[in-house]
Structure 1
Amino acid sequence: MTHFGYTLMTEQSGPLALVRDAVAAEEVGFDFAVCSDHFSPWLASQGHAPNAWALLGAIAQATERLGLCSFVTCPTMRYHPAIVAQQAATVQILAQGRFTLGLGSGENLNEHIVTGAGWPNVRRRQAMLGEAIKIIRGLLAGESVDHHGEHFQVDQARLWDLPEAPVALAVAMSGAGGVDRFGTAADHLIAVKPDRELVQSWREARQAVGLSEGGRVIGQLPVCWDPDRDNAIQRAHRQFRWFGGGWAVNAELPTPAAFAAATRYVRPADVAEAIACGPDLAPIVDAVGAYLDAGFTDVALIQIGGPSQEAFLKEAAEPLLAALRGAAA
């Protein structure tokens, strides 16, 4: 069964609005919500960056059945992995088993400004993530963790409040190297593109070591629904033109100003070609179809634009979900 999610973009809205949106998303029938975990917006025109973990705790208490996932948390620089484990355990208790910890190697934009330590290359970032996952798994398993590694030191750490339901780990991967390093460390796969080969290689890596075939494959894509297509295109261009750079580029840019400069030649027409914009639901269903064909089990939608959320959730979400579930069936 395919599950359809709603994205809580901490870059687009403030914390009170995001809690209201999560409640509304549950009411209209979304299966889960993913929450970005950023210190800065991608572009200054987005204008927000509340703390994701305070937000997840509030949403866990404000909702009843909506699945929750950090999408994604970097557990290596802005947060120490022991703190990520503690945050995840607490949110899982508050959510009563509805939370999944999404992890990734992070972006320069959100990490370097906190530690002041500079931004490591991708090989080092992945090594740090692998070490962090080991620490997080040990703590979430209730172990007393002593770890003296290349990147992290942990002395006799233990989580004193553990949830009854284990916290599943979803890890972002984008290619064969990611699968080789993290494929068997992840309960679920997060991927940014509808890549059938990536999904298949991850499933094969799990099968090779006797892991369950039931892991989820979680994807996400932006849409910009609006009764007026021109308004939708302009809003998508203003807030989301950064998306076209791809993660290999986006992970390296250090500030919103850098994202603005890197995308200054992206035209509204370019954005409209890449993102379904306007009132027609069929292009959104078609775009999601690529993920379904690639073997994704969960797809979260990003409705671009903070002020547009209420209209999208009231007017478009229910018929869109019906169309998506029909396509999945």
Structure 2
Amino acid sequence: MSETSPEFTHSPSKRPTISDVARAAGVSIAVVSYALNGRPGVSAATRDRVLRIADEHGWRPNAAARSLRTSAQAVGLALVRGDTATTHPAAFMALLGGIQDRLASRGLALVLQAVDDHETAAHLYRSWWAERRFDALLVTDVRVNDPRVEALRSARIPSLVVGHPGAARGLASVHVDEEEAYGRVGRFLAGQGHRRVGVVTGPADLDMSIRRTAALRAALEQEGAAAVVVTTGASQEEGASATRQLLVDADPVSAIMFDTDLSATTALDVARRLRREVPWDLSVVAGTDSASCRLATPSVTTLPSPVAELGEAAAQGLLDMLDGERGIERVVSVGPLTVRGTTAPWGR
């Protein structure tokens, strides 16, 4: 049950004011002002109560009043531990570099804060916006039924999702067209004679992993081949375990598609230990490229990694949104498959 006062009865057509928030919270207008602007002199409990009531009733600052003070001039991103920020730091730094370079051209900074889980990130986004710390917020690694997306949508907070528009659910979005790219990989492997292809992906609720796998599976099935999916974590040990599972099965796969370069290069060692010769006994493809893929023996067949381009496109989407553009849904294409030494026709 809401703790707000029943006296909060503003008309749906009337913009709620700071006086309405003060009345509902049972405090003075000055206290509300201090709480909303993050100023000292207000207890943590009172600040939380004011922020919650302001959020529940859709309070927003008056645009004219806001223009009298200096803009936040920053974009906020809550990093959830265990997402790509910590599991694939090199790729994530390339993404952030692309974002920051474009934002800096307009004098905007990208501010990061690490949190433990997605619910905490959703709460932080609400607090940041209520306190007007940022001009817009950014979401990465979108999950199924992501609480961050729901929090941003329900509060109508200016934000952009680095992910598929289906996962963004009406928020601005920019994503890499990995569905098209994974479909190409499926057709490539089927064209090389592979009829049972392993897919090592994860986490299970990561929206993009689900879309990648569905596209690869559909492409294989259209060619009369089948996908065997193993969902796993991001560590080398988990990737190695998934590879071993696919190779020691009673009906082993002849090719494996990995989401990441780390898992793909780890698989080469697992195959050697199981006396499987790559590419003749097993073909390996990675969904992201890196120096480790190019330097491995044999070098790994990969999709290119347009991570910096994605970052630049996401930043431009944010800038265009702040300039008033609506309905932003942009796609970064993936280049052709780079065929190296880990793939070969099956059965020859």
Range into which the TM-score falls when normalised by the shorter chain: under 0.3
* Structure possessing the higher relative contact order (Cα contacts under 8 Å, 6 or more residues apart): 1
TM-score by length of 1: 0.28
User: Which of 1 and 2 has greater Rg?
Assistant: 2
